[in-house]
Amino acid sequence: MKMKELANKDTKELKLLLGEAQKELVNLRGQLAVRKLKNFQVINQKRKDIAQILTVLKQKESK
């Protein structure tokens, strides 16, 4: 997701997205452990998405 799209969402939506992204990351790490994951870049992208969501949440909380 783009930062502009994230900035337009309210905190409730961002927290939902954050929870979903964290669950997906756990699932991806599990797939990696049992060697079912073919594309390792997905984990890095999901971590980046989580960081972007957290950044937007912090910015909204500080206002």
Nearest to 25 by CA among 52, 47, 1: 47
Q: Find out whether 40 and 32 touch, Cβ atoms under 8 Å.
A: yes
CA distance 51 to 35: 25
User: Does the pLDDT at position 1 exceed 90?
Assistant: no
CATH class of 3-62: mainly alpha
Mean pLDDT of 34-59: 94
Check residue 23 and give its pLDDT.
98
- The domain spans of the chain are 3-62
Q: Tens of pLDDT along 3-46?
A: 899 999 999 999 999 999 999 999 999 999 999 988 989 999 99
* Length reported for the chain: 63
What is the three-class DSSP state of 1?
Answer: coil
